[in-house]
Amino acid sequence: MSGAGFAPQVLPGVNEKNYVFPLENYFKYWSGQGIKLIRFPIIWERLQPTLGGPLDQGYIALVDRTFGYAQKYNMKIILDLHNYARYRGQIIGTSAVPYTRYKEIMTHIAKKWSSQPALYAYDIMNEPNGALAYWPTAAQYGIDGVRVIDRTRPIIVEGNGWASATRWPEWNDSLLNLKDPANNIVYSAHSYFDENAGGNYQAVDVGKLDPMYGVERVRPFVEWLKKHGKRGYIGEFGVPDNDPRWLTMMDNMLAYLKQNCIPATYWAAGPGWGNYFMSVEPVGGKERPQWATLKKYINNTSCSTFGPPK
């Protein structure tokens, strides 16, 4: 659910001008549609304007409000630090952003929100990139920071290379060495069906793609999980609204993920998207084209835990 992470280049920014926390009606609507899990992006620099400094009480209050709405409508939140392995553009682990500062913010986050009944999991960093030499170490610091406070909830670890599902095995064997005293790590990959996997879909001819293309995009991640006996989740995926062939690809991918007990969160709903081509937020009260396919896969009870099954 979008909003709080918008315009990260505008710091600190102003709510409902540069970024926008969703109001209660968004939770009411999506809960009514059967959605009970939200991935919710927040920005480190807004939460902690000075590295190592105090947290911003206004931003905290807005996150608190979000948890309150989620709880009211029986929804759970994956709290996502949406920072690409950086703080103010500097990679975690460099001299500008020591690993200990990242551990510290994850401890702050757990201390602040682990008591929230609506908190489901910690997504400790969105789409690490350009940080191959740093992210495996940083991820361990992030895990350790959470576990100082919260010894039970899942910790979601995204992979190097923008968490690309397709290229996951190339860049992420180093994450196999992560240690969690709770043994509750869930690896998270992202998948879009354009060539660079970034979700812009520019110059992509859908007519040249096989209907199983979405399956092929996520298969390397799923096979990596099977090979190493790990659990996984697709944290982002999305398709354009302009051709039903995209919907077929998404449908096939979701069927494959369901078969392997790999849950997924769609990018995206929530305020501020307008006519954005991947948004599933209704426009003018009218459902978006992607929703008919997506809703086939909610309330799924075929799996009791994260897959793939052993």
Note the pTM of the prediction, 2 decimals. 0.96
Domain regions of the chain by residue span: 24-297
pLDDT at 197: 59
- pLDDT value, residue 301: 81
CA distance 213 to 252: 9
**Rounded distance between C-alpha atoms, residue 30 and residue 144, angstroms:** 33
Which run of H or E residues covers position 81? strand 76-81
pLDDT of 175: 98
Decide: 58 and 12 in contact? Cβ < 8 Å.
no
User: Which CATH superfamily, name and number, covers 24-297?
Assistant: Glycosidases (3.20.20.80)
> Kind and range of the H or E element at 232?
strand 232-238
* Residues in the chain with pLDDT values less than 50: none
Give CA separation, 57 vs 52, 62, 112, 125, 151, in Å. 15, 9, 11, 22, 25
Active-site amino acid positions: 127, 236
* Predicted pLDDT of residue 64: 98
- pLDDT at residue 100, rounded to an integer: 98
85-99 confidence digits (pLDDT tens)? 999 999 999 999 999
**How far is 75 from 71, CA to CA, in rounded Å?**
6
Measured CA to CA, the distance from residue 147 to residue 135 in angstroms comes to 18
The pLDDT value given to residue 270: 95
Give me 138's structure tokens.
Answer: 């940083």
Q: Say how far apart CA 200 and CA 278 lie, in whole Å.
A: 9
Task: List phi, psi (to 5°) of 66.
Answer: -60, -45
